[in-house]
Structure 1
Amino acid sequence: MRFDGWIAGVGTSSGTRIVLGHWQRSPFGPFSDVMLERADGQRLLLAPTRETADFVSETYAFDAVRVTPVCVRVAGATWTVAAGSLELRFVTGRRGLLGLLLRAVPGALARSPAWSALIDRPARLLLPGVRTRGRGPSGRRAWYGARDLWPIRTASGSFEGHGLGTPAPVAPPVRFGFGSVPREPAVTRVTTTVAPAHRRTAAASTSTRTACPGSPPAVL
């Protein structure tokens, strides 16, 4: 089961850490989801449909799951996210050396689980907390093939009516699965491959499409 899109990870001075998945192609059609960990350690999933919520919560670990529309707009370097009581806006900067190196990796190679397994150890050394392969709490296997990376320069927002504060490192690392996102806030273009449970393959579904009306696809 292959998911092509973007993962954004950002910490905040309030202690809340947020991981956004923005998937242009997936077995469920295009959709976005948010994994959020509060300062007290509570892990929350915000997903647009029961189908996507069930799949993500079977792959990673959460203390609570909410099914709610997740709307993502991308205009140039500015990302705007609305998901239930979460409002988030962040702006990316110019890609650095690591982004340039990842961009040079051929797409076919980046999508290969074998490549993800090969670069897992270098990724751990270069970006502590990051892993490119592993097993989630349920035992389901996953591989991540990064293809680009942009730093997040500014971020602001609120959750449940409370301001999130200023952007901060993703520290401590989030605890949804076997690895975290880069410590420094960033957006990573990634291909995620997930081994299906019990040989089951999800059928593509247009009902899970949650892109904002009139919003262009994210092309960075």
Structure 2
Amino acid sequence: MKRMLRAGSHRPRLCFDGWIAGLGTASGTRIVLGHWPRSPFGPFSDVMLERGDGERLLFAPTRRTAEFVSDTYHFDTVRVLPVDVAVLAGTWTVTAGPLHLRFATGRRTLLGHLLRAVPGPLARRPVWAAVTDGIARTLLPGVRTRGSAGGGRREWYGAQDLLSIRDLSGTYDGEDLGALAPVEPPVRFGFGSVPHRPALTRVTTTVEM
């Protein structure tokens, strides 16, 4: 994606286009996967993970992406390691150091159908994220589509689709994470969480530096 400037501003905006999966597990570990086929850093994926004891971890594939994400969100531990994501027929397989994860997407939600009806160029604009922020707070408690990020940055999420997640299996450091569960309590990486019900969101994220 290209770096863009707001009219009359010298603050660059970086755009990340891809998917965000929010998952809870019976063990209490909550996981946020970012899968970005298009980004200022090239294609990459990252994992934000909050353990049942509250420890927040970031797994990112390069030092550059790790520094950018950790400057934007809040973590107790940051690890640079390969994050491999494979998608086949609605099944996602994720390997990131000690984390091995597989989940399957289900039906498109009613909100997903509504999001798909919004023209793509509009859905990707920060002004649309500002309009939808109040709607998101009402329909998806804990979810925000705009807010202040770390390092004085601002951030907007332009959602374009929403799929349910219906199945999950995984291990962390060889221990079973347990069955799929709500994302409860909400994750604490940034100004908002992911939907309470595990879901996969098609999204364009814009970060103003």
TMscore range, shorter length: over 0.9
> What corresponds to 1:72 in structure 2?
85
Q: 1:178 aligns with which of 186, 191, 198?
A: 191
CA distance in 2, matches of 1:192, 1:99: 17
Unpaired runs of 5+ residues, structure 1, are: 197-220
Residue 81 of structure 2 aligns to which amino acid in structure 1? T
Once the two structures are TM-superposed, the CA of residue 56 in structure 1 deviates from its matched residue by 0.1
> Is 1:55 the equivalent of 2:49?
no
Asked whether the 8 Å contact 1:137–1:178 carries over to 2, the reply is no
> What corresponds to 1:20 in structure 2?
33
Deviation per CA, 1:82-125: give whole Å up to 9, x if none: 00010000000010211100111111011110110011011101
Q: 2:94 aligns with which of 51, 61, 81?
A: 81
Deviation per CA, 1:29-87: give whole Å up to 9, x if none: 00000000000100000000000000000000000000000000000110000000100
Aligned residue-pair number: 196
The secondary structure found in structure 1 opposite 2:193 is coil
> What corresponds to 1:195 in structure 2?
208
CA distance in 1, matches of 2:98, 2:87: 19
Residue 167 of structure 1 aligns to which amino acid in structure 2? L
> What corresponds to 1:163 in structure 2?
176
Q: 2:55 aligns with which of 33, 36, 42?
A: 42
Once the two structures are TM-superposed, the CA of residue 20 in structure 1 deviates from its matched residue by 0.1
Q: 2:139 aligns with which of 100, 118, 126?
A: 126
Residue 31 of structure 1 aligns to which amino acid in structure 2? F
Once the two structures are TM-superposed, the CA of residue 136 in structure 1 deviates from its matched residue by 1.6
TM-score, normalising length: structure 1: 0.88
Q: 2:148 aligns with which of 119, 130, 135?
A: 135
Residue 122 of structure 1 aligns to which amino acid in structure 2? I
> What corresponds to 1:212 in structure 2?
none
> Is 1:147 the equivalent of 2:145?
no
Relative to its length, the structure with more strand (as a share) is: 2
Once the two structures are TM-superposed, the CA of residue 137 in structure 1 deviates from its matched residue by 3.5
Once the two structures are TM-superposed, the CA of residue 180 in structure 1 deviates from its matched residue by 0.3
The secondary structure found in structure 1 opposite 2:68 is helix
Residue 72 of structure 2 aligns to which amino acid in structure 1? T
Residue 108 of structure 2 aligns to which amino acid in structure 1? R
CA distance in 2, matches of 1:153, 1:170: 13
Q: CA RMSD in A?
A: 0.6
CA distance in 2, matches of 1:180, 1:62: 14
Asked whether the 8 Å contact 1:147–1:189 carries over to 2, the reply is yes
Asked whether the 8 Å contact 1:10–1:186 carries over to 2, the reply is yes
Moved over 3 A (4+): none
CA distance in 1, matches of 2:158, 2:142: 16
Unpaired runs of 5+ residues, structure 2, are: 1-13
TM-score, normalising length: structure 2: 0.93
Residue 109 of structure 1 aligns to which amino acid in structure 2? L
Once the two structures are TM-superposed, the CA of residue 138 in structure 1 deviates from its matched residue by 2.9
